[in-house]
Amino acid sequence: MPIRVHLDRVLLERRMSLTELADRVGVTIANLSILKTGKARAVRFSTLDALCRELQCQPGDILMFNEGPPEPDDGESAD
């Protein structure tokens, strides 16, 4: 996916663990881990809002767009 998630970098800068962030944001550690590893399909604005508030950052600090072809979904082919 061309959208890269740099949550681990921001966590390191804020010296915060994933567990602590999960408790503050109200998202499970499993879901945050899915987001951190780039496996998430979508992020709700409410979640992004909570992340930015707790990490004191902008959405662009967590999410970055890299030019490239989109990865095909399951059962679909990339044209």
Partner 1 sequence: MRTLGPRSISSFLKVFLDISFGFIALFLLSLGAIALWSALHMANPALPTPTWHWGPNGPPMFVASPRGASGLPLFALYMLGLLGIVGRLRKIFITLVAGQPFQAENARRLRIIGLILAALEVSRYAVWAILLLCAPDSPVRDYRPNIDVVGLFAIGVMFVLAEVFDEGVKMRKDLDLTI
Decide: residue 62, CB within 10 A, 0-12 exposed, 13-18 middle, 19+ buried: buried
Binding segment (CB under 8 A) for partner 1, from list 13-21, 35-43, 59-67: 35-43
Rounded CA-CA distance 77/79 in Å is 6
Instruction: Identify which range of 12-20, 55-63, 67-75 contacts partner 1 by CB under 8 A.
Output: 67-75
Residue 11 or 32 having the CB closest to partner 1: 32
Q: Which of 67, 71, 74, 79 binds partner 1 (CB under 8 A)?
A: 74
Q: What does the DSSP 8-state code read for residue 17? A: -
Output the CA–CA distances (angstroms, integers) from residue 68 to 1, 63, 75, in the order listed. Answer: 8, 15, 20
In the complex, least distance from residue 79 CB atom to partner 1, rounded to whole angstroms: 18
Q: Which residues bind partner 1 (CB under 8 A)?
A: 27, 31-32, 34-35, 39-44, 47, 73-75
